Copies of this chain bind each other. A is one copy, B any other.
Amino acid sequence: MSTLIGLLQEVLQESQLSTSESVRGLHSQDESYHAPILPEVVVFPHSTEDVQSILNIAKQENRPVYPYGMGTSLEGHIIPTTDGISIDFSEMNNIIEILADDMLVKVQPGVTRDQLNKELKKHGLFFSVDPGANATVGGMAATNASGTSSVRYGIMRDQVRNLEVVLANGSVIHTGSLAAKSSSGYNLNGLFAGSEGTLGCFTELTLKVYGIPEQIVAGRATFPSVDHAVQAVVQILQAGIPVARCELVDEPSIQKANEFSDTNYSIQPTLFLEFHGNEAGLKQDVEFTKEIVKEFGCKEIEFEKDTAARNKLWEARHNLAYAHVHSSPGKKMMVTDVCVPISKLAAAITHARSVVDQSRFEGGIAGHVGDGNYHILVMFDRDDPEEVEAASKLNEEVVEFALSVGGTCTGEHGVGLGKKKYQQKEHGEALQLMKVLKQTFDPDNRMNPNKLIN
């Protein structure tokens, strides 16, 4: 038994530590195509003090730590790239307090999105960030996740009011307050949100929540082409219609969704739309939207207020990635994740389609087009160097396009391992500042090394 394990056993209960092959295997990879690497040991903290103890031992034994939520990352964030400790936060999953009057919730990092929404519903509230996967809030804050409803409610960073963070040196800080806004001190909330575990471990989060809207209407609109659908989105946004969700699903993806989710949606380029508001306002929004989509050749638009039908629709959308995975057993999924200015979205999606068509892959396009964020989902054989090369090339072409029009290499999945190579091109001189920041906060490069930044 190594000194490391011995020291960890001194501060943790037996059930809070595992060196078994299977548990280490579970913590060796996420949902992405990145190659798995086993951690030396997996620990399951129950408290901030546990996390401090683990980090102090990591320092003493000179080992890196790798925070782990649900393993739903898509860029290898949780992969232990060098021998070290995987810190699994699943047993820190208490909803500490629902501050209904303040529209806030205090939670531990291992709370999942579904768990949180189930509890909030009892108070007429909901948590808005919806990346599809049932991720933990800690993981979502670490990657600055977003998803279908960000066009209306903002991204994960926008929801973070306060974080309790254990730093590399074992000290504990809080990054904000309960106030709705503040101009006090440097904005640590925003800096730690999206830091991918490279600056510290989150042990408590205070997050913004919202009242469940008086009325919700969702619908599907089909278009003669992806381009028509995207043009309609641009028009909806510019008209100032406060659309709550605005998702593009192309033909191959609709087909996959139908197969996997047992739906019978027309196999055409489709927008999944959702509106939140009061009854009268919503009716007017929906009517206005109908007018706009018709202008762009939409022949079929179906709206539904019924909860079951609406849930079915979003389930089909959310399961799209799994639908692709399911249809290609043994293969791995690569998902591109660029975000471009809205004015460049139509050209970007056209470009994306041509890149897929010229590749050896089928590939489906889907995305949160209200934000200018879209994904190409590609299944490939990780053991075939040619397939790896082709998938990588496809990703690269899409990123290069996005950067050339003022966009970003990752809209919501984060940098992790997969997007590090684009950081210099995207951030230029600012990357140097980010490196200095990392070096200052974590001089021994102990916190999730090799992610986001080198």
Q: Report A's interface with B, CB cutoff 8 A.
A: 99-104, 143-146, 150, 155, 157-158, 167, 171-175, 177-191, 193-195, 210-211, 213-214, 234, 237-240, 277-285, 288, 339-343, 371-373, 402, 405-415, 419, 422-423, 426-431, 433-434, 436-438, 440-441, 452-453
Contact = CB atoms under 8 A, between A and B. Distances in A.
Contact of A190 (B184, B187, B283, B342): B187
A433 B342 contact: no
Contact of A372 (B175, B179, B427): B179
Contacts of A278: 281, 284-285, 288
A9 B431 CA distance: 33
B281 A412 contact: no
Given A190-B191, A280-B283, A441 B433 contact: yes
A90 to B, nearest CB: 23
B187 A213 contact: no
A428 B194 contact: no
Nearest to A162: B406
Which residue, A173, A189, A371, A372, has most C-beta atoms of chain B within 10 A?
A173
Contact of A101 (B342, B402, B422): B342
* Protomer copies: 2
Contacts of A238: 100-101, 103, 211
Contacts of A282: 281
Contacts of A341: 99, 101-102, 104, 178-180
Given A144-B183, A188-B430, A189-B190, 7 more contacts: A101-B234, A143-B183, A179-B340, A180-B373, A181-B371, A184-B409, A436-B440
Contacts of A371: 179-181
Contacts of A372: 179-180
Given A173-B430, A406-B178, A440-B436, A419 B187 contact: no
A182 to B, nearest CB: 4
Given A184-B409, A185-B415, A179 B427 contact: no
A333 to B, nearest CB: 18
A436 B442 CA distance: 12
Which residue, A158, A174, A342, has most C-beta atoms of chain B within 10 A?
A342
A182 B437 contact: no
B440 A157 contact: no
Which residue, A181, A239, A413, has most C-beta atoms of chain B within 10 A?
A181
Contacts of A183: 143-146, 194, 408, 410-415
